[in-house]
Amino acid sequence: MGRKEEDDCSSWKKQTTNIRKTFIFMEVLGSGAFSEVFLVKQRVTGKLFALKCIKKSPAFRDSSLENEIAVLKKIKHENIVTLEDIYESTTHYYLVMQL
């Protein structure tokens, strides 16, 4: 059961070689040890999002990200941001969230 959930999380990720082809980076909203959050504008629609950029590193476990994604996908509450999309590059994971 837990393995299937992990497989489902992996299928949500879209591969990208350059996230800047999809989004225009406007400003930094916050940062932490493993990630930065940016205000971005989607090039195709013009919609604004918060983009959490998580750097891949040996210290950051993939299972932690998969758990965060699974929780954000399931929870629907007015005080919790909605996860819109997920991208992956060779160096980062990108979580696209509503503002």
| In the chain, domain spans | 2-97
21 is in an annotated binding site: no
**What is the SS3 assignment for the chain?**
CHHHHHHHHHHHEEECCCHHHCEEEEEEEEECCCEEEEEEEECCCCCEEEEEEEECCCCCCHHHHHHHHHHHHHCCCCCCCCEEEEEECCCEEEEEECC
Euclidean distance between CA atoms 40 and 2, whole angstroms: 33
State the pTM of this model. 0.79
Each residue of 19-75: pLDDT tens digit?
Answer: 999 999 999 999 988 889 999 999 999 999 999 999 887 666 667 777 878 888 888
Give the per-residue pLDDT at 98.
Answer: 92
Reported as a pLDDT band with limits 50, 70 and 90, residue 78 is confident
Q: Which fold has domain 2-97?
A: Phosphorylase Kinase; domain 1 (3.30.200)
